[in-house]
Each structure stands twice: as structure tokens, then as C-alpha cells.
Amino acid sequence: DAGVTQSPTHLIKTRGQHVTLRCSPISGHKSVSWYQQVLGQGPQFIFQYYEKEERGRGNFPDRFSARQFPNYSSELNVNALLLGDSALYLCASSSRTSGASTDTQYFGPGTRLTVL
Amino acid sequence: RKEVEQDPGPFNVPEGATVAFNCTYSNSASQSFFWYRQDCRKEPKLLMSVYSSGNEDGRFTAQLNRASQYISLLIRDSKLSDSATYLCAVDGGFQKLVFGTGTRLLVSP
């Protein structure tokens, strides 16, 4: 079975531009989460989506937005890019969506964004 | 205090050694815990979920200590291929994982 897929794998943008990153979850998984990982740090939670609704949001500015489609794939959008947005953007999918605790999440290969 | 704390290392060990990492967390309400392995410039890969009674998978053993709010990972008989960064992740509620900065392990011949 295919794992989580993400596109593109690498991206170079300049300050002020916007970017759209895409993610397809594992077949049968309905929950998608987005994380940002800067060099030397662990991944930081950005968003969680289930059934096209935002279910969780991390401490990121409004320049970051996302959405989920009926087929459970997802897009992460970042506007007005800053140098500090350079990072590995990871998408994770999980099968369980309800309940207060966090189910096992499986990560895609990530999109490496460089902002010049 | 950070929500999840790990010693960044690096831990330098010879092949065959046993090495242990600890990870402390601040949210006593956390219900699920995970160890991920991350190779350089790759995505985190799930190594183990950590259950209340501990969990063992071959050379890897994870333990949870709720009273002291830490989880541990023990690697026995280290292999060169175990060289990686080990990320501790803790349930932040509602499908949110809170990660530590990771512990770097270097296994040498």
C-alpha cells in the first residue's frame, strides 16, 4: 500500500511569494496533520484536518492556511513568505479522528521549502 | 519549561553497545506517546508506540513512567544502521503531536 505522499519534494521561492504544498494520506486514513520542521528542531504542529474541517491549529500566523478535500487529500498554503519559513513541511495521516488523545501518525517524505 | 524535552546529544557509542534515551514531558494529561526515528533530511518514521506497560520490539524497548512524566528508549546491541536522530512525541490532544528536539545517536565501528 502507498504511504503518505507529498508534492513537490523541493521548492525554492523568494520573500513575499506564496506557496501551495500538497498531501495525500494513506488509503483509508481520514485525518491529515501538517507540521513544520526547521533545522535542528523537532516538527511543530501547524494544522489538523478531518472531514474537510480544521480540528486543530498550532501557533502559526494567519499567513498559513490549509484545506482538506472530499478525497481526504490536503493542501497547505503559505502567503507572504518570509526567510524564516524555510523548513521541511511534513504531512502526517492517521486513521482515528475522534477522541481526545492522539493516534499514531505516519509521515510523508516532506516538502523542503527554501525561501530566498 | 518546554512541553517535551530531550537531550540533543550526540550520543557516540560503539557497535554492540546498549544506549538509553530519556524524554520528559510536562502535560500530565497526555495519553499516547511515541518514538520516531529520523534520518538526515528524511521524514520521521515510527519506531514504537509506548504503552503503559512498556513496549519491546526486538532490540528496542520503550518504557513509560507517568509518575515522573518521562518515557525512555533503550537500544541493545547497537548497529551502525541505528545512527539517526530519535524523536520523542507526546500526545498534545486531538491528533496533535508535540515533539522534542530529538536525540542524535552515532554508532561507530
pLDDT in tens, B47-101: 999 877 788 999 999 999 999 999 999 999 999 999 999 999 998 877 889 999 9
- Band (pLDDT 50/70/90 cuts) for residue B31 is confident
User: Which sign does the torsion angle of CA A70, A75, A76, A79 carry?
Assistant: negative
In this complex, the residue of B32, B45, B101 whose CB is nearest that of residue A42 is: B101
State the average pLDDT over residues B100-106.
Answer: 97
pLDDT value for B29: 87
Alpha carbons B15 and B96: distance in angstroms, whole number? 35
Report mean pLDDT in 10-residue bins for chain A, 116 residues.
92 98 95 95 94 90 96 97 98 75 88 98
Beta bridge partners of B14: B108
Nearest-CB residue to A90 (from B43, B46, B102): B43
For B14-31, what is the mean pLDDT? 94
Among positive and negative, which fits the CA dihedral A5, B55, B50, A37?
negative
Q: What is the pLDDT of residue A104?
A: 87
Cβ-based contacts of A102 with chain B (< 8 Å): 31-32, 91-97
Alpha carbons A15 and A33: distance in angstroms, whole number: 25
**Shortest distance, CA A106 to any CA of chain B (angstroms):** 7
Report pLDDT for A1: 62
* Cβ <8 Å between A102 and B92: yes
Contact B104/B11 with Cβ under 8 angstroms? yes
Q: Would you call B93 and A45 a contact, using CB atoms and an 8 Å cutoff?
A: no
Task: Give the minimum alpha-carbon distance from A16 to chain B in angstroms, rounded to a whole number.
Answer: 25
Q: Which residues contact B76 (CB under 8 A, 6 or more apart)?
A: B18, B59, B60, B61
Q: How many CB pairs under 8 A join A and B?
A: 82
Q: How many CA atoms lie within 13 A of A109 on its CB side?
A: 8
Separation in Å, CA of A109 to nearest CA in chain B: 5
